[in-house]
């Protein structure tokens, strides 16, 4: 089955700086890669996703890049703000998500004022 590794487990950055979270996956058939943000005690919320036919996608301060050859994808957050503090999860799936998502273990992002 699919295995998703996520690094780092904790990331502390100064407000205004950029943050990068990296994930690798094992199943070359995976074709859908969402990123979720989870605040304490709340449900995960989708922040951005990318499909395997695209190498990069941006949405304001957030971007995701995908390297299919190396089987890794990354989340980039620029101009970080205090409200960006949360746990971020990457995930992967094959078959268009039909069989569910395989998640990384999460990155706790701390924005230092």
Partner 1 sequence: DGGITQSPKYLFRKEGQNVTLSCEQNLNHDAMYWYRQDPGQGLRLIYYSQIVNDFQKGDIAEGYSVSREKKESFPLTVTSAQKNPTAFYLCASIPAGGSNQPQHFGDGTRLSIL
Residues that bind partner 1 (CB under 8 A): 1, 4, 6, 31-32, 34, 42-46, 49, 51, 89, 91, 95-106
Q: Which of 16/95 has CB closer to partner 1?
A: 95
SS3 labels along the chain: CCCEEEECCEEEEECCCCEEEEEEECCCCEEEEEEEEECCCCCCEEEEEEECCCCEEEECCEEEEEECCCCEEEEEECCCCHHHCEEEEEEEEEHHHCCCCEECCCEEEEEEC
By beta-carbon proximity to partner 1, the closer residue of 52 and 65 is 52
Least distance (Å) between residue 26 CB and partner 1: 14
What is the nearest approach in angstroms of partner 1 to the Cβ of residue 18? 23
Distance CA 56, CA 65 (A): 4
Report the residue number, 37 or 80, with the smaller CB distance to partner 1. Answer: 37
Q: Give the residue with the Cβ less far from partner 1, 45 or 112.
A: 45
Q: How far is the CB of 16 from partner 1 (least distance, A)?
A: 28
């Amino acid at each position: 089955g699919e295995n998703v590794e996520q690094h780092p487990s904790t990331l502390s950055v100064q407000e205004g700086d950029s943050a990068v979270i990296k994930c690798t996956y094992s199943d070359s058939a995976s074709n859908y890669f969402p990123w979720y943000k989870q605040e304490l005690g709340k449900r995960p919320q989708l922040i951005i996703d990318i499909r395997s036919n695209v190498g990069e996608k941006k949405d304001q301060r957030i971007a995701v890049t995908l390297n299919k050859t190396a089987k890794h994808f990354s989340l980039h957050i620029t101009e970080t703000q205090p409200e960006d503090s949360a746990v971020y999860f990457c995930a992967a799936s094959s078959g268009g998500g039909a069989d569910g998502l395989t998640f990384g273990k999460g990155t706790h992002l701390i924005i230092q004022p």
